[in-house]
Chains A and B, each alone.
Chain A
């Protein structure tokens, strides 16, 4: 069966520090991968999605970036965090069926 992992589960970082969030999927090949941000426990904003290794589409211009170095690995990064980057970051995967979500990473920028 398929499983999706995200880490870390929670993160507190100062403004201006770098960021790296990781997402990995097990039990499937060549999935579509997605990064979402959820602010204040509400709507989800699609940040990036990828249909294959090295293929990244950005939905919202901002100081975040994404990379897909391996088929089932998706990384969200920032060189310098802003206060507005705080939120709940969710990774998701899809392989010909519904989209499934990971457990999320709670990021607090102080």
Chain B
């Protein structure tokens, strides 16, 4: 079945770049998404990329998509303490989202 995998933890120093990686299995996915979840809150849509794109940039966020390897990454430039959260990637499959397990990003001073 469809599966989305992410590493569980990432720790970075404030001001550095963070790169969160994700692999997915369904090559027919049309859109791939990144969501952010802060403690006790719902999921906030950060950005998404259409499957015919290789890269999308939105302010401090850069999404890279390697369709051949089914690999998606989210780069956060100049990471701040407010970026500490769990980040989920997700692929759209038959009108439903398949989520990864989430990567907990910890930013230290």
Contact = CB atoms under 8 A, between A and B. Distances in A.
A32 B102 contact: no
Nearest to A45: B99
Nearest to A43: B101
Nearest to A91: B42
Nearest to B43: A101
Interface string A95-107: 0001111111010
Interface string B76-109: 0000000000101000000111011110000000
Given A41-B86, A44-B88, A106-B40, A98 B45 contact: yes
A100 B41 contact: no
A101 B42 contact: yes
Contacts, number: 43
Given A32-B95, A98-B31, A98-B33, A104 B41 contact: yes
Chain B: number of interface residues, binned into ranges: 20 to 34
Contacts of A49: 95-96
B96 A104 contact: no
Range of interface residues on chain A? 20 to 34
Nearest to A44: B99
Contacts of A25: none
A98 to B, nearest CB: 5
B48 A98 contact: yes
B65 to A, nearest CB: 16
A42 B42 contact: no
A64 to B, nearest CB: 17
A90 interface: yes
Contacts of B45: 98-101
Interface of B: 31, 33, 35, 39-45, 48, 86, 88, 95-97, 99-102
Can you list the 6 inter-chain pairs with the closest CB atoms, starting with the nearest?
A101-B43, A101-B42, A43-B101, A104-B42, A103-B42, A44-B99
Interface of A: 32, 34, 41-44, 46, 49, 51, 90, 92, 94, 98-104, 106
